Structure 1
Amino acid sequence: MAPTGFNSILERTQRLAGIVGQEQATCDRHGAYEAQVFRDERRSGCPACAEEAREKREAEEWAAQRRQGAVAKLERRLGSAMIPPRFTGKTFESYRADFPEQKKALASCRRYAEQFAENAQDGRCMLLLGKTGTGKTHLAAAVAQHVIRDHGATAIYTTVSRICQHIKGSFGSDASYTEVQAIELFAQADLLVIDEVGASRDNDFERMSIFEVVNKRYEEMKPTVLVSNLSAAKFEASVGDRTADRLREGGGFVLLFEWESARRGAA
């Protein structure tokens, strides 16, 4: 039995809340309960139903917070992919494929992205080679973003020039990182996209740099996508036999973009 003083405080609290009495009520789901009667003749609902509603609301709020956290995490991963702003919105759906060759390239890149788990397991690489303005970087960026969004993997987009600059940055006596660490930076991501292969005039250093990065990823069974405006024969001559052999191993394949530039058509 509650003390008299406690009952007095409880009664005052109920009056302030507008509660004037109590009566028996029945919930279709939880059975009998004691409802509180208010001055405006409203009755309180089933406390068990109210508790279930509260738990559901809290679960929905928690799920929303988790979704927001997942979106923020995805945005951080997309940001760390270093895809240029011009290509961050490029998707498979936005790639214009009017001709059979374009449709084949689109389907092949989409399949490579959708089957990334198997490609990653085999270390399978892909080469996008051919004429300028044919959408090679568009599709490479779409592959990288699909891999990040749909597979929860990490991806990095870079160019041969950036790789060479980063490696050269380790040569000075005051460098803050070593050449090994420079190469390791490009070996960490689950997928690496290297664009503008063969565009540099410093071909010997470019060839060495590409080999070091590709070989490191080859040893760790990590796939690499290379993009170049060169033909297949010129590409192999540019990167060298050792690099080409590693790119082919594991079922690596080549897509040739031999139609005319879309940029020229737009102009």
Structure 2
Amino acid sequence: MNFHAQPLRSSANCPKHGDFERLCYFGDSWTGCPKCADEDAARIELERETIIRTGEREAWQRRLGDTGIPDRFKDRRLENYVATTPGQIRALEFARDFAAHFGEPDRRGQCAIFLGLPGTGKTHLAVAIGHAIMESAPRTVLFTTVMRAVRRVKDTWTRGSTESESAAVAALSFPDLLILDEIGVQFGSETEKLILFDVLNERYEKRRQTILLSNLTVDDEVVDGRRVPGIRSFLGERVFDRLREDGGEAVVFDWESHRGKVAA
């Protein structure tokens, strides 16, 4: 096959991108549309990244089991959340928006705190967001309580543990969405605050999104002369500041119990 000392040049037309100059370096083999070539390269790279990401997701899923979503809530979807009051409608609209724009460049790292009494639908909407983002793309979601997350890290400190502390923190920082339930049920010791900071700071640095659920108020309250700690105290100021960055929001569920009210 003859190689050309200087490439041959010729005009050509691409049905998609229009006119372009094609080149021939040897024989009668001519180059195609450069824009099509760039698009093909980008598509191949995206497919490669998807394969890698899917492999990581499957490996993570095998390691941790399922999403951790309780059986009671596995049928919870945005579509079957009953919203009749203005507050419930606002919460549902927030959840829909959070799910619809999950992972977009200007939303990466956005967190949310759902606050309200038991039975107001916090877990329903958080789990529904998790289902929505998993159904729209190969994403990972983990639902766990703060006590379980803290216990998992603490268990690595025991003699004979097969998992390192860094590996436990990494496992909690890997999911695209982490849903942490029962904020405030833990004792709120400095050790627990440090563990929470390590997990949430790791997610903060990777700009991975987190939803926290709590029956507490944001700040401390005085009830019958007794100070009742708010979520800020339980988490610690450093963790709370991390959650407010990247457009983090607190959604207040200030209505009566929502339990048993799931749309058919």
| TM-score (normalizing by structure 1) | 0.67
Provide Cα deviations, 1:165-202, integer angstroms capped at 9, x if missing partner: 10111001211011111111101111111111111235
Pairing 1:152–2:138 present: yes
Structure 1: distance between partners of 2:194 and 2:127: 25
Provide Cα deviations, 1:3-36, integer angstroms capped at 9, x if missing partner: xxxxxxxxxxxxxxxxxxxxxxxxxxxxxxxxxx
CA shift in 2, pair 1:138/1:119, >3 Å = farther
Structure 2: distance between partners of 1:159 and 1:181: 18
Aligned-residue CA RMSD (Å): 2.3
SS of equivalent residue, structure 2 residue 246: coil
Pairing 1:132–2:128 present: no
**1:40-51 residue pairs with structure 2 within 5 A?**
none
- 1:120 CA displacement: 7.9
Pairing 1:92–2:78 present: yes
Structure 2 residue runs of 5 or longer lacking an equivalent are 1-57, 220-229
Identity %: 37
Pairing 1:243–2:239 present: yes
Identify, as 1 or 2, the structure richer in strand: 2
SS of equivalent residue, structure 2 residue 186: coil
**1:1-267 residue pairs with structure 2 within 5 A?**
80-118=66-104, 122-233=108-219, 234-263=230-259
Task: Report how many aligned residue pairs link the two structures.
Answer: 192
**Conserved in 2, the CA contact under 8 Å of 1:156 and 1:191?**
yes
Provide Cα deviations, 1:117-156, integer angstroms capped at 9, x if missing partner: 2278531111111211100001000011111111321111
**Conserved in 2, the CA contact under 8 Å of 1:120 and 1:222?**
no
Structure 1: distance between partners of 2:106 and 2:182: 23
Structure 2: distance between partners of 1:132 and 1:119: 34
Between 1:101-110 and 1:200-209, the stretch displaced more is 200-209
- Counterpart in 2 of 1:62? none
Structure 2: distance between partners of 1:184 and 1:120: 24
- 1:80 CA displacement: 2.4
**Conserved in 1, the CA contact under 8 Å of 2:69 and 2:127?**
yes
